[in-house]
Each structure stands twice: as C-alpha cells, then as structure tokens.
Amino acid sequence: MSTTDADLIIIGAGPAGLTAAQYGARANLKVLAIEQLAPGGQALLIDVLENYPGNVGVGDAPPKTGFEFSRDLHQQAESFGAVFLTDSVLSLNCEGNLFTLTLGNGETRTAPAVILATGAQHRTLDVPGEAEFSGRGVSYCATCDGPFFRNKKIFVAGGGDAACDEAQYLSRLSSQVVLVHRRSRFRAQKALAERVLRNPNIEVRFNTRIKEIRGEVGNQSGGALSGGSLPVPQKVASVILERTGEDGKGIGGAYEEAADAVFIFAGTVPQTSLVPEAEKDENGYIITDQKMASSVPGLFVAGDVRAGPFRQVVVAAAEGAIAAHCAAEYLDRLNG
C-alpha cells in the first residue's frame, strides 16, 4: 500500500461524490470523501425525488425524498468501506503524481488521484434588498425555510427545475405562491412545468422579474462608538416587480406588491475555485473527456461542476461511477 492518506480522495459528497465513493471502494481502493456540509449536496433540497430511475416507492409509499435518498447513498458508500470526513477543502496542489489537499482545520491529506465533485451553488438575483433580507424572508431553499411562511404570501423567482420543484413544495404550505419568471416559458422538465401550471395554489407570471425586495427595518443600539441606533433589516414586506421583454430584460411598468417571503432559484454557479488551472468552458464548467478526466492528470471531475448538457441526480451519479472506475484504471497504470 502507498504512503499516501488514500488512493482516491473525493471532494464533495453530493450524488456524484457519494456514488464515486461507493464505486471507488468497491474497486478496492482506499477512498476518502471530504464534505464540508452534509452528505447529499443539493439533493438534500429535493422534495420528492420522483425522476430517479427505480425510485417509485413501495406499495402506497411515495418515492424517497432527496433527504432519504442521500442518507441511503451515504450508508451504501460507507458499507463498502469509503471513509467520510467533514471539512472543507481549501486548496488542492499537484506535484508530480501526488495531490495534496489542505483542509479547513489546517491539516493536509494526500492521494495520487482526486475526483472533484463540488457541484454548484445558487446564483443570486443581484437586486436591491436581496442580500439585506437574506435569512429574513429571502431564501434559496424551500425545504429549509418554507415552513416559516405557512399560509403567507410567497414569491418564487426562476423558471428551471429547482424553481418549479420548490414552488410545488411551497404550494403545500401556502395557497398564495406567486412564481415569477422573466421568460415567456419554463426551462423545467415538461412534466414538472405542467404540474406547476395546473396547481391552483401557484399563480405563474411569465415575462416578469423581481426588481427590488423591500422590508421592515428596525433599530438597534449602536453602542458607545456610534453613539446612536443602527438600522437592522427585520423582514421582507414587499417586492417591486417589472415586466420583461423576450430577452428577459426589464421593460418598465414597475409595481409594488406585498410579500412575506421571496425564494430565489436563478440558476447555479460551478464550484471550481480549487482548480484554476483545469480547462473550462465559456460558462466556467470543467471540461473532461468521456472518462471524466480533466486536463490535469489524475484529476477526475463528476456532476454539476462538469461541463455537460443536463444537470440531474441520475447524471451526477452516473458520472461519479465513471470517474471512480476510470480513476481506478489510472491508478493501475500509475502503479505499473
């Protein structure tokens, strides 16, 4: 056995990383998976994972939720011998055939092969009030924050799978869900989009964008230095909406409407900061070959962080399996 900490280190334990961990361990590799939050990644946010092949529920039971699916995937990988560590990877350096990872706790870990499965993070709308009221009515996760807004007026922004999926979830908590999308049709899968359009608790407004989020601001004592009180954002109170043209840009006619919460699903940004040297496409996603190998030898990439046409759990899982399989082949070649 080598003197490195693992044969294969996986960064990120969403569906791609979890599946890679399972396949790597089953290929008899010493696998270490490092996850900064909880195993599952974005899949933890999925209400009912009804489009994963075979996830149909047993008897009258519904299909597994994203949380249940992630829990089972994690247990499955551990049962085959993959080891999980909770920490964030701060840097990834490669010298010769050895990768050295520096963790948030200051320690390092080494391996001759790495799978980057860091996924993607939500994009912001970048409108006034968004950052100010984040956590005070502005949210990027319906399953996390939706229950705080039961029977309240909720705006959802976006037109892809995440926006439609989360609007569906919120519509079970409130009959006043307004889904605004700056285009004239959804990007989401057809079945999901049609369900949203039929849902009596969701009002869909196409060609509309949120221009600003307004709210109540209270005062807090500023202490001796400021000698007065500081304005502190309390909660969302309204949104400024604007009509949009075919290009999705505002065309005026802004109006204000009362709101208790704003859930934003405006797309995602690939998490690639650990590998500035890896080749990327024009949108910043990492380019690989069919074996999930990046332009950096020994660095494989899987899931939402990889340049590909479709970002779903089934795709991430499949790419994780291919990456682990091909990383094992790479290690065989390396060890002669």
What does residue 192 show for φ and ψ, rounded to 5 degrees? -70, -45
Instruction: Pick the binder of ligand FAD from 9, 11, 210, 292 (CB under 6 A).
Output: 11
Residue 37 lies near ligand FAD (rule: CB under 6 A): yes
Stretch that binds ligand FAD, among 1-9, 40-48, 71-79, 278-286 (CB under 6 A): 40-48
Residue 34 lies near ligand FAD (rule: CB under 6 A): yes
What does residue 186 show for φ and ψ, rounded to 5 degrees? -75, 155
State the distance between the two ends of the chain, measured CA to CA, in whole angstroms: 14
Q: Is 180 helix (H, G, I), strand (E, B) or coil?
A: strand
Q: CA 92, CA 310: separation in Å to the nearest integer?
A: 27
As measured in angstroms, the least distance from the Cβ of 84 to ligand FAD is: 11
Stretch that binds ligand FAD, among 8-16, 196-204, 222-230, 281-289 (CB under 6 A): 8-16
Stretch that binds ligand FAD, among 173-181, 244-252, 309-317, 326-334 (CB under 6 A): 309-317
Stretch that binds ligand FAD, among 116-124, 178-186, 201-209, 211-219 (CB under 6 A): 116-124
Instruction: Pick the binder of ligand FAD from 110, 234, 295, 312 (CB under 6 A).
Output: 312
Residue 22 lies near ligand FAD (rule: CB under 6 A): no
Q: Give the CA distances from residue 175 to residues 235, 257, 324, in Å, rounded to whole numbers and listed in that order.
A: 20, 16, 45
What are the structure tokens assigned to 39, written together? 């195993």
Closest CA to 306 of 122, 162, 119, 161: 119
- Which residues 6+ apart lie within 8 Å of 89 measured at CB? 11, 34, 36, 101, 102, 103, 104, 274
Q: CA 219, CA 230: separation in Å to the nearest integer?
A: 5
Residue 13 lies near ligand FAD (rule: CB under 6 A): yes
Instruction: Pick the binder of ligand FAD from 2, 5, 36, 235 (CB under 6 A).
Output: 36
Residue 266 CA to its chain's centroid (Å): 11
Residue 166 lies near ligand FAD (rule: CB under 6 A): yes
Instruction: Pick the binder of ligand FAD from 9, 27, 43, 178 (CB under 6 A).
Output: 43
Q: CA 10, CA 87: separation in Å to the nearest integer?
A: 12
As measured in angstroms, the least distance from the Cβ of 301 to ligand FAD is: 10
Q: Which is nearer to ligand FAD, 37 or 56 (CB)?
A: 37
Q: Which residues are known to be catalytic?
A: 141, 144-145
- Cβ atoms 278, 301 nearer than 8 A: yes
Interface residues with ligand FAD (CB under 6 A) are: 11-17, 34-37, 41-43, 45-46, 49, 51, 88-89, 117-120, 161-162, 165-166, 271, 274, 303-304, 311-314, 316
